[in-house]
Amino acid sequence: MESPRDNKTDFMQAVINAAPTPIFYKDAKGRYLGCNKAFEEYIGLTRGELIGKSVFELFDDDLASTYFKADNALFERKGTQIYEAKVEYADGSIHDVMFHKAYFHAEGVEGVVGSILDITERKKAEKRLEQLALTDSLTGLDNRYSLMKSLKHSLLRQHRENFTLAFLMLDLDGFKQINDSYGHPVGDALLIAVAKKLKNHFRESDVIARVGGDEFSVILENISSTESLRLLANKILAEFVEPFIIDNNSFTIGISIGIAISSSCECSSEDIIKRADAALYQVKNNGKGNYLLTVVN
């Protein structure tokens, strides 16, 4: 005949087995005392295989050390603990999870009880939102906000590593007339084609952004020479001699480029943007379809 204690244990096990989130509990030495069905599925072991084992017998050293340190910190505070981590499920898939843990002391036993909340989809959604906040929705390039963040970080790296940095401002010549005459769908298609063409001329590490209607900017780090920038500018100008084909129509637009180069660790974002903008303005005033390179002192 089962004792009331056995009945109570069976009842509590049935209750936590009904929970869809993995639940576990350990003693003061970090050995597992029990878990629910969801935790068995997560870890790939049965309760019988799990009970009495420590994290160092079940997980790789790095992960086990993370769990062990977190448990010890919880025992010292004797409160609750919440933290996020990446874990590998028994099926080999990697998940973002949130651990909720609490210290307990019941019937002469000290330990930790915890649950694991899978937040993988939430993390993916957050990443998508972050990407949207940093991306120009039409071209897929960086937007102005992302460009300014990147420029700030580039200047900080320049201060540490002492390399030459270039900032390009590019403005399309004749785009407004096409957009006004043929409508926004054609204008949008043209901007997308321009973005693709520009990407072909830059390295993967370079930051290319659409910062306005027909305005683009680029950040280039570790510039080897001024001559390499001149060659790059001339290649871009030559590329825009060829017409763009949109909906079987041919459109020719030009491009004007202002380039600011900084070899100084004291250059600010405002300094380099102003110099590139001034160079672009001068190109536009002198007939467009060219480039001007200036050095930020």
d(CA 128, CA 260): 33
Beta pairing partners, 209: 142, 217
Q: Quick one: angle between helices 144-161 and 120-134, nearest 10?
A: 90
Q: Is 214 a catalytic residue?
A: yes
Q: Write down the catalytic residue from 180, 214, 271, 277.
A: 214
Residue whose tokens read 């001699």: 241
> Which region holds residue 89: left if phi is over 0, alpha if psi is between -120 and 50, else beta?
beta
Q: Is 140 exposed, middle or buried (0-12, 13-18, 19+ CB in 10 A)?
A: middle
Query: What does each C-alpha distance from 247 to 5, 115, 219 come to in angstroms?
Result: 78, 57, 32
Residues 6+ apart with CB under 8 A from 25: 32, 33, 34, 35, 104, 111, 112, 113, 114
Please count the other Cβ atoms lying within 10 Å of the Cβ belonging to residue 166: 25
Q: Residues of 268-279 as b/e, b for ≥16 C-beta within 10 angstroms?
A: eeebbbebbbeb
State phi, psi for 162 to the nearest 5 degrees: 60, 55
Active-site annotation, residues: 214
